[in-house]
Amino acid sequence: MSHKAVWVKVNVQVDAGIADLISALSLFPALQTIESCQGEPAWICFRYGQGYSDLTEFICGYFGIGLARMVGDAATVLIRVTESEIIRGELSIRPGMITATTEAIKQLAHEYNGLRSAV
């Protein structure tokens, strides 16, 4: 018997230097982080929603644009197709900009969740 699967937030260890950043990203209910590293630059790979169209709409229609407006080139958001055909978002953050990016993401999540609840 087949059952419908859904995404849930789980507790997992992440690098201490980006723990607050990962927590800020989790404020977007449909965003799921899948890999991360606090290196230089720090980076996080993530999925959003149910597939590539949700991911593309989220990055190009809100998150990427909003983040660029708030932190400029301190953070870069990409959509990547891996060799195993997984489509994911990638966030890269310049050294020294994790705190500013985290605060920007918190603000964007607050605004985004307010917009979605108003619909």
Rounded to the nearest angstrom, the gap between the alpha carbon of residue 41 and the centroid of all alpha carbons in its chain is 15
**Per-residue pLDDT tens digits for 57-75:** 999 999 999 999 999 999 9
Determine the topology of domain 30-118 in CATH: Gyrase A; domain 2 (3.30.1360)
**Per-residue pLDDT tens digits for 8-53:** 666 788 888 999 999 999 999 999 999 999 989 999 999 999 989 9
Q: Name the residue ranges covered by the structural domains of the chain.
A: 30-118
pLDDT on residue 70: 97
What value does the mean pLDDT take over residues 86-105?
96
- Dihedral sign from CA coordinates of 16, 24, 26, 92: negative
Q: What is the rounded (10 degree) CA torsion for 100, 105, 107, 110?
A: -160
pLDDT on residue 7: 59
pLDDT on residue 2: 64
pTM: 0.87
